[in-house]
Amino acid sequence: MSAVIEARGLTKRYGDTVAVDGLDLEIGRGEVFGLLGPNGAGKTTTILMLLGLTEPTEGTVRVLGLDPARDPLAVKRRVGYLPDAVGFYEGLSGRENLRYTARLNRMDPTEAEERIDVLLERVGLADAADRPAGTYSRGMLQRLGIADALVKDPEVLILDEPTAAIDPEGVSEMLGLIRTLATEQGVTQLISSHHLQQVQEVCDRVAIFVSGRIIAAGTTHELALAGTGPERLELRIDGDREDLVRALEGVDGVEEIRRGRRPGSWEVVLERAATGDAVRALVTGGVEVLELRRASEELDEIYHRYFQEVNADVG
Amino acid sequence: MSDERMSPGWPIVARKEFTDHLYSGRFVALLAVLSLAGAGAVFAASTGIRSIAPQTVGIPALFLRLFTVTADPVPFALVVFIAFLGPLLGIMFGFDAISGERNQRTLPRLVAQPIHRDDVINGKFVGGLGIVTVVFVALTLFVAGIGIFRLGVVPTPAELARLGVWVLAAIVYVGFWLALAMLFSVVVRRSATSAIVGVSIWLGLALFGNLIARLAARLLAPSGPGSALAEARLETILARISPITLFSEASSALLDPTVRTTGVVTLAQLDRAVISNLSLAQSLLVVWPQLVTLVAYTVICFGLAYWAFMRQEVRA
């Protein structure tokens, strides 16, 4: 697998503050990579360095084998970018905005016109295409932003918070689009987000990015296993805490039974090895289990865990 | 695809900027105001010229008088009007050049397209100059048209040449204000603040520029014999710091072949001077310093705007 995006020891300092600290990154062709982290973690700065829009203080970047700082136009011609909280010229219609992007990419006008029609249809803006962008809702702007990033028919797509401000239905459409682009057109995608649940669904790999550093990277499954802490089971049962305690009494390794984060749920903290025994005990113990899931497998759990670890290190 | 094979990006930005301005409300409003005032001024001027024309045969460059003569009921000649309102033209097309991109959050998207960073600011400046050129050429033709109709005098080639050079000078003059407004649009975050700063400088210079020059000259000039002359010279020099003065002086010499100097003249110097008309080349020579200074101002302002823009982060 040849790396489409490659960063080695990438560092960006603004005065004394370190925005990005020795980042190493490798993303292969057709891969969907999620860069996850809280606001201010350095995600956008990283993206700007990948696009050659800001120069790294140290380290190297290669996008499609090119150095964005030396060959910015060639990189930007082949990389589509959806900025965080994207904006459009309010006086121009959605279509005119995309037309400008097409011109800036030196596209053939006839070809561009066809492509713009297809893309507007694809993001569900065909009806609103000729209205001024100033009248668009935040979600519509976001969808127009996706179309805008795709106008140039990019080989690489960089999406900064693509699902922000979109309604749930829009989010699933957007995620579907991301998946389709990856599988059918082999578009390499880097998605930055703090919406972990959403991103988790479509990413082949994720990296957790906190305070300018990647603190963990891999598939979501790998990240879950890499954890050293106890397993957490989240349960909804037809019954109360007493039923749970009774059923799990005989299981070794159960550390705690407490209220879960969701209303009406319970959380069982236990050693990893004890998971199977605990589930068996629940069933044989006659507890009516309505729902059961491994809380630690969810990406936001992983993320919170790592985030706490980093904070603990710093503190 | 390598960088070299792509066509330059600034014409694309300039074209968009030009089109945007052309369809903008501010363009229509400005053109309406300029046309009305221009028509009023030239109508009054032509009436004035008509009333004196029979007695004075052989007024040099009669046609150009349309632009320079003040006559009732309009209290200003067209050139004075342009010198006063030209800055507004530049400020209106430049005050939100960059801050507008930031406010609409379009800047990151724009610079992520395959253009260089300076294509943005270069294109915007060229686009603005383009629209200013359109305004001036249209206005001049409009005024000339009314003039021909009212006076029945067709401009000679020499007069047309003077008019052409004057339009060029006017474009440079407005270009300075455009560059200044763009500088503020880079440095100041809010478009409204940028506009206010630009307008303040314009009104300050237009209304109080001469006053300040006079007061400063009075304070600074040495006392003693000949102090009046020294003071007058100093005042002229100080007033020439203002681009408005520079343009007014340049206009007067470019549009009137009888103007031989723009500085302080003593009676002794006029003694036995032979009154004759200057050629365009000689008129140019008279105001060459003014023209060069205007160009320099424009270049410096644009240079500062360019430098500030290139240093800024795309974000924030």
pLDDT, tens digit, for every residue of B30-54? Answer: 888 888 888 888 888 888 777 766 6
Pair A132, A68 in one domain: yes
Cβ atoms of residues B91 and B177 within 8 Å: yes
Q: Is residue B33 domain-resident?
A: yes
**Mean per-residue pLDDT for A79-88?**
93
pLDDT score recorded for residue A314: 52
The yes/no answer to whether this complex scores an ipTM above 0.90 is no
Task: Please give the order of strands across the beta sheet that includes A3-14.
Answer: A17-28, A3-14, A58-63
Residue A274 domain boundaries: 227-314
Pair A99, A212 in one domain: yes
Q: Is residue B272 domain-resident?
A: yes
Least confident of A250-264, B15-29, B158-172, B187-201: A250-264
Question: Which residues in chain B touch residue A81, judged by CB atoms under 8 angstroms apart?
Answer: 108-109, 112
pLDDT score recorded for residue B314: 81
Angle at B61 between CA B55 and CA B63, to 5 degrees: 85
| Largest distance between two CA atoms of chain A | 73
Q: Do B114 and A88 touch (CB under 8 A)?
A: no
Pair A154, A211 in one domain: yes
**Mean per-residue pLDDT for A235-241?**
85
Chosen from A39, A49, A50, A53 to mutate, greatest number of chain B CBs within 10 A: A53
Name B44's Cβ contacts closer than 8 Å, sequence gap at least 6: B70, B71, B72, B73, B74
Pair A190, A297 in one domain: no
Q: Is residue B87 domain-resident?
A: yes
Domain boundary among A218, A245, A263: A218
Q: What residues of A are in the B interface, CB distance below 8 Å?
A: 44-45, 48, 51, 53-54, 71-74, 76-79, 81, 83-92, 100-101, 103-106, 145, 148, 152
- With a pLDDT cut of 90, the percent of chain B lying above it is 42
- Confidence check: pLDDT of A71 > 60: yes
Global pTM? 0.85
- The DSSP code sequence of A7-62 is EEEEEEEETTEEEEEEEEEEEETT-EEEEE--TTSSHHHHHHHHTTSS--SEEEEE
User: Which chain B residue's Cα is nearest to A51?
Assistant: B112
Q: Do B24 and A91 touch (CB under 8 A)?
A: yes
Q: Is residue B148 domain-resident?
A: yes
Of B20, B109, B116, the CB nearest to A148: B109
Pair A12, A116 in one domain: yes
Residue B303 domain boundaries: 7-311
Domain boundary among A161, A192, A218: A218
Cis preceding-peptide flag for B73 (omega within 30 of 0)? yes
Any CB–CB contact under 8 A between B311 and chain A? no
Question: Which residues in chain A touch residue B315, judged by CB atoms under 8 angstroms apart?
Answer: 44-45, 48
Pair A30, A97 in one domain: yes
Pair A133, A54 in one domain: yes
Question: Which residues in chain A touch residue B24, judged by CB atoms under 8 angstroms apart?
Answer: 91
Pair A85, A58 in one domain: yes
Q: Which residues pair with A205 in a beta bridge?
A: A33
- Confidence check: pLDDT of B20 > 60: yes
User: Which chain A residue's Cα is nearest to B19?
Assistant: A92
Domain boundary among A191, A218, A245: A218
Question: Which residues in chain A touch residue B20, judged by CB atoms under 8 angstroms apart?
Answer: 89, 91-92
Pair A197, A254 in one domain: no
pLDDT score recorded for residue A300: 64
Least confident of A141-145, A190-194, B245-249, B279-283: B279-283
**Mean per-residue pLDDT for B283-300?**
92
Q: Is residue B110 domain-resident?
A: yes
Cβ atoms of residues A252 and A277 within 8 Å: yes
Question: Which residues in chain B touch residue A105, judged by CB atoms under 8 angstroms apart?
Answer: 113-114
Q: Do A73 and B6 touch (CB under 8 A)?
A: yes
Q: Is residue B1 domain-resident?
A: no
Q: Do A53 and B115 touch (CB under 8 A)?
A: no
For residue A273, the domain's CATH number is 3.30.70.100
pLDDT, tens digit, for every residue of A190-200? Answer: 999 887 777 77
Chosen from B109, B119, B122 to mutate, greatest number of chain A CBs within 10 A: B109
Q: How many domains does chain B have?
A: 1
Give how far A52 is from chain B: nearest CA, Å: 9
Question: Which residues in chain B touch residue A91, judged by CB atoms under 8 angstroms apart?
Answer: 20, 24
Give how far A75 is from chain B: nearest CA, Å: 8
| Helices (H), ranges, chain B | 10-22, 25-52, 65-68, 78-94, 99-103, 107-111, 117-151, 157-187, 191-220, 227-239, 243-255, 267-270, 280-286, 288-311
Distance CA A204, CA A32 (A): 5
Pair A295, A211 in one domain: no
Give how far B299 is from chain A: nearest CA, Å: 26
Angle at B116 between CA B115 and CA B117, to 5 degrees: 120
Question: Which residues in chain A touch residue B3, judged by CB atoms under 8 angstroms apart?
Answer: 71-74
Q: How many domains does chain A have?
A: 2
Pair A74, A171 in one domain: yes
Angle of helix B78-94 relative to helix B25-52, nearest 10 degrees, comes to 170
pLDDT, tens digit, for every residue of A265-312? Answer: 888 888 878 888 888 888 888 888 888 887 765 666 666 766 666 666
Give buried/exposed letters for A44-57 (b at 16+ CB in 10 A, else e).
Answer: bbbbbbbbbbbebe
Give how far B133 is from chain A: nearest CA, Å: 23
Q: Is residue B2 domain-resident?
A: no
In this prediction, residue A34 has a pLDDT band, given cuts at 50, 70 and 90, of very high
Q: Do A103 and B12 touch (CB under 8 A)?
A: yes
Parallel, antiparallel, or unpaired for β A289-294 and A205-210?
A: unpaired
Structure tokens at A293: 């899931």
pLDDT score recorded for residue B218: 84
For residue A13, the domain's CATH number is 3.40.50.300
pLDDT, tens digit, for every residue of B78-127? Answer: 888 888 888 999 999 999 999 999 999 999 999 999 999 999 999 999 99
User: Which chain B residue's Cα is nearest to A66?
Assistant: B2
Radius of gyration of the CA atoms of chain A, in A: 23
Distance CA A179, CA A186 (A): 10
Cβ atoms of residues A247 and A287 within 8 Å: yes
H/E segment holding residue B264: none
Distance CA A42, CA A23 (A): 10
- Confidence check: pLDDT of B316 > 60: no
The SS3 of residue B23 is coil
Give how far B4 is from chain A: nearest CA, Å: 9
Whole-number average pLDDT of chain B: 86
Angle of helix B78-94 relative to helix B243-255, nearest 10 degrees, comes to 140
Q: Is residue B316 domain-resident?
A: no
Of B24, B108, B114, the CB nearest to A104: B114
In this prediction, residue A150 has a pLDDT band, given cuts at 50, 70 and 90, of very high
Of B2, B105, B115, the CB nearest to A104: B115
Structure tokens at A278: 């605990």
Pair A64, A85 in one domain: yes
Radius of gyration of the CA atoms of chain B, in A: 22
Query: How many cross-chain Cβ pairs, A to B, lie less than 8 Å apart?
Result: 81
Higher model confidence: residue B87 or residue A240? B87
pLDDT score recorded for residue B127: 96
Residue with tokens 């109360």: A240
